[in-house]
Copies of this chain bind each other. A is one copy, B any other.
Amino acid sequence: MTTIDTKPGNNAPAAPPRKLLGHLMELLEKRLHEFFRAERERRSKAYSQAADLVGSVADLVGAGGKRVRPAFCLSGYLAAGGDPEDHRVLRAAVALELLHAAALIHDDIMDAATRRRGVPTVHERHSATHRLCGWRGEDRRYGEGVAVLAGDLALVYADQFMAAAPPLVDALWAELRTELIVGQFVDVHVAAAAEFPVDPQLARWIAVTKSGRYTIHRPLELGAAIAGRPDLSDAFEAYGSAIGEAFQLRDDLIDAFGDGQVSGKPDGLDLAQHKMTLLLGAAMQRDLGIRDLVRAGDAGAGRLRSRLRETGVRVDIERHIDQLVDDGCRAIAQAPLAAGWREELIEMARLVAYRDR
């Protein structure tokens, strides 16, 4: 590995943000890989099949993913002037990725999703094994049960990595996880009960709570807290909220119009499951026809999707994303960040807001 000049002398310039971040992201992958290798070995010593459960988590994490949360955590830390040689922040970044794995595994059960990151979801894989081997009981119950445990394990692993963080971080970490779970509950509840099917404010609340905060705002805040800079939390909240909303709107657009081959998951799942997405919330405010389709309930994802396509809503949402990116970038324009980090965070905002998967 190339050594990076992280502690410059008096005249040497600091390593550029991109290079520092890239270096830590490489270490993150190594940590994840090494952790799962050791853990698989350790658990299989006690009982050989136990490695299968560890493997279900490891495979999902290893199958890719954008690593958005670790990247923002490490960026928050470095932008706050945290020492790049002090690798304690890496443990927090690993924890965030493992928490994300837990959330995906459990969410996929609730959504009955079959694919994730281009491979079968954890419950789907174990249900398939059950069917193939002709085991006792119901294949669905078995697969979903194993996935519940795999998600639990990922949650515990995440926590294990965060345990060494400074006390200041404990409350943030607890809040981040509780928000995520409560947000997901409200999402599932509203999709089923549909008590407020035409409430864009609720759509916004769900998106901010279950996804926006935990994707960008809280990871940045965690990173800054580990660097001992809680003073940055206002700037990071403003940036994170705007870019988090842009991230989520893009997610919704990818679900509604995207290419499953690129995203690694089926298209139109949210629409088919009556999820009150940010996209729908925004679309309903702009187009009464969409409001009626959503109200009608089981109109089907197909009709909703064509209506979203036909009307100008999509272009409108793209414009709203542009606005959010502008807002977010403006929010950190005056923040006291380490050299080069304003520009780097602006670039990252664009990357997440205009991605295709």
Which A residues fall within an 8 A CB radius of B?
43, 46-47, 49-50, 52-54, 102, 106, 109-110, 112, 130, 133, 135-137, 141-142, 144-146, 148-149, 151-153, 155-156, 159-160, 163-164, 167, 170, 173-174, 177-178, 181-182, 184-186, 188-189, 191-194, 202, 205, 209, 273-274, 297-298
Contacts and interface: CB of A to CB of B under 8 A. Distances in A.
A164 B169 CA distance: 11
A205 B144 contact: no
Given A47-B186, A186-B49, A298 B136 contact: yes
24 contacts: A47-B182, A50-B185, A106-B149, A106-B152, A109-B148, A110-B141, A110-B148, A135-B192, A135-B193, A136-B191, A136-B193, A144-B144, A146-B189, A148-B151, A149-B181, A149-B188, A153-B181, A155-B155, A156-B181, A160-B170, A163-B167, A163-B170, A163-B173, A163-B174
B170 A133 contact: no
A192 B191 CA distance: 33
Given A47-B186, A49-B186, A137-B273, 20 more contacts: A43-B178, A43-B182, A52-B189, A106-B149, A109-B144, A135-B193, A135-B194, A136-B191, A136-B194, A136-B274, A136-B297, A136-B298, A148-B151, A152-B181, A153-B178, A156-B177, A156-B178, A156-B181, A163-B167, A163-B170
Contacts of A145: 109-110, 188
Nearest to A99: B156
Contact of A152 (B141, B144, B151): B151
Contacts of A141: 110, 112
A159 B159 CA distance: 8
Closest 3 CB pairs of A and B: A110-B145, A160-B174, A163-B170
Contacts of A192: 130, 135-137, 142
A47 to B, nearest CB: 6
A156 B109 CA distance: 19
**Which of A53, A109, A152, A274 has the most B CB atoms < 10 Å from its CB?**
A152
Contacts of A52: 185, 189
A144 to B, nearest CB: 7
A152 B153 contact: no
A165 to B, nearest CB: 9
Nearest to A135: B192
A50 B186 contact: yes
Contacts of A189: 49, 52, 146
**Which of A141, A149, A164, A177 has the most B CB atoms < 10 Å from its CB?**
A149
